[in-house]
A and B are shown apart, each in its own frame.
Chain A
Amino acid sequence: MAVTDTAQTARAAGAPELLEPSPGQLLRRRIFGHAGLLIGAVVLVTIFLMAILAPWLAPHDPYDQVLERKLIPPVWFDDPKATWDHILGTDALGRDYLSRLLYGARISLLIGFAAMLISGVIGTTIGVLAGYFGGRVDMVANFIITTRLSMPVVLVAIAVVSLVGSSLTVVIWVLGLLIWDRFAVVMRSATMQVRDLDFVASAQALGCSTPRILLTEIMPNIVNNLIVVATVEMAHAIILEAALSFLGMGVQPPEPSWGLMISEAKGLMFFEGWLIFIPGIALFMLVLAINLLGDGVRDVTAPEGRN
């Protein structure tokens, strides 16, 4: 009897290691089992690297106009002008399309990230305060959110940019100040879900200061939701920047913004369709990658969240 007992205890002690994987292992398993998350991450990292390494990767100067080499089609076109020197061809001013595309990735990522940061700070502050305090604070926050939602984003953004004068900084700030609503709404309800839990009550009982409770008790528990909203809003900001630039109220020529490239190619698109397809597909891939990453993070951190 004694012998079996020892054996069972020994097995029980060793069992968790053998049978049950650690939470970290489980998480890794979920991450590597999620195709969307992996594809999104790989595409996003690739675009990010291309943006950073643009000066080394770009075969030509993106601003260099060579008028005798204008409108060369991409290399896969059956056209005598197509050349490996300009893999994606050249635009109406003879600028290398691949180089402009690579530099354009910088603008999209920069504006998307910066606008997301600004809106994230504003929205999270409003949402967490509203969710934690409730009552009057919540009422005021709700009012601000409703007011913001009532104003048409694209229209207000274009109007403000046209009045202030457009530059990269202005576009970033205008977008950042306009798209914080989803952050506020999601952070508010996420905070409400954790604020009444026991560990928050114990922190309050211990006499922790409110900022400390918000930062060390609430925030770590809603950070997953924050990441998901952050990806959605970054994608949103990138699409809005492209739309603004397309309408002529965003990034100004000769900068190689993807939206601007589509806008510049608009007049020629009936003859040279690839001029709008190439930057459009780049834009689509970037936004898709960010969205897949966000959906993946949501699925991996909360597997029940998909429904």
Chain B
Amino acid sequence: MFAYILKRLGVAVLVALTVSLITFSMIYLSGDPAVALAGENATQEDIERIRDFYGYDRPIIVQYFDWLFRALQGDFGQSHYLKKPVADVIFDRLPTTMLLGLFALIFALTLSIPLGVLAAIRPNSLIDRVALTIAVIGQAMPSFWFALTLMLWLGVYWQVLPITGSSSWLNFVMPAIALGYYITPAVMRLTRAGMLEVLSTDFIRTARAKGLRPPTVLVKHALRNAIIPVVSLAAVQFGFMLGGSIVIETIFAINGLGFLAWESILRADLPMMQAIVLVLSVFYITLTFIADMLNAWLDPRIRVT
């Protein structure tokens, strides 16, 4: 187990370093970052001053390591636009996005796991078909359009929920649905497949033959085994949702990391963009690492190979 953890941790760190290198080189996509920062009417002198101030005149490799070591200490530099430390702004906005992601995850799981289980109990029945239809429709609906539609019906026509902002938990209901429904099909399919597999095994037949109550067999014996891959998928999808929250947060004007990312992109605030991409990537890497550990702990076959 220890060797496995160490190996997996090494890969995670290496991936994080590669991502940081890619994130760092992103600012050179626009050509000279100093020119991009200075704006259209800048004189050569202004550009030189900016280049000197942010250290863009140093060799790129020196800049990278300087940036990386500062980032490791939690210093992502100054925001070009807000004139505040990037790290402060990010940690200010991060909880909102986390909360949104968590609500979305809860919504997705409470919808998809029961549906997946019900579909697996009676394959090809009406409920299976309904679940499958929900999955197919869910996969085809662009989240931003779904969000706008929710806004229009729940917010304007029926007026049951507030449309924008992030002041009360009611503001999070629609964004959480819009964000969470997107991962519902994947979780539901995996639950269904896992349950079908477990339900056909011998120990379930034994449990039933012993005369255990069907709900006990279903939850204690079957679901407990089928849920393992679902847990790790949910962890991975949580990371995806945080990345995808940029669209939802922009629509609902939720003051989280995604909205900040969008604002920073519009303002060409390079250090902020870099930091957000890096923070979200590292968060995702951590989540997958935890999911792998969880899997290895629950299933000894993984950690041996």
Contact = CB atoms under 8 A, between A and B. Distances in A.
Given A155-B261, A160-B26, A249-B265, A291 B139 contact: yes
Contact of A153 (B16, B142, B243): B243
Interface in B135-169: 136-137, 139-145, 148-149, 151-152, 156
Contact of B284 (A150, A269, A284): A150
Given A163-B30, A291-B140, A143 B14 contact: yes
A142 to B, nearest CB: 8
A307 B193 contact: yes
Contacts of B196: 307
Contacts of A276: 145, 148-149, 152
Nearest to B123: A307
Contact of A154 (B243, B284, B285): B243
A288 B133 CA distance: 11
B140 A287 contact: yes
Interface in B98-157: 123, 136-137, 139-145, 148-149, 151-152, 156
Given A150-B281, A163-B36, 8 more contacts: A143-B18, A146-B11, A147-B19, A150-B15, A243-B247, A262-B145, A295-B136, A307-B123
Interface of B: 11, 14-16, 18-19, 22-23, 26-27, 29-30, 36, 123, 136-137, 139-145, 148-149, 151-152, 156, 193, 196, 240, 242-244, 246-247, 250, 258, 261-262, 265-266, 268, 273, 276-277, 280-282, 284-285, 288
Interface of A: 143, 146-147, 149-156, 158-160, 162-164, 235, 239, 242-243, 246-249, 259, 262, 266, 269-270, 273, 276-277, 280, 283-284, 287-288, 291-292, 295, 307
B184 to A, nearest CB: 15
Contact of B148 (A153, A162, A269): A269
A68 to B, nearest CB: 28
Nearest to B284: A150
Contacts of B11: 143, 146
Nearest to B28: A163
Contacts of A163: 26-27, 29-30, 36
A283 B145 contact: yes
A28 B241 CA distance: 40
Given A152-B284, A266-B148, A164 B142 contact: no
Contact of A155 (B16, B29, B142, B277): B277
Nearest to B197: A307
B140 A152 contact: no
A239 B282 CA distance: 25
A143 to B, nearest CB: 7
B262 A158 contact: yes
Contacts of B27: 163
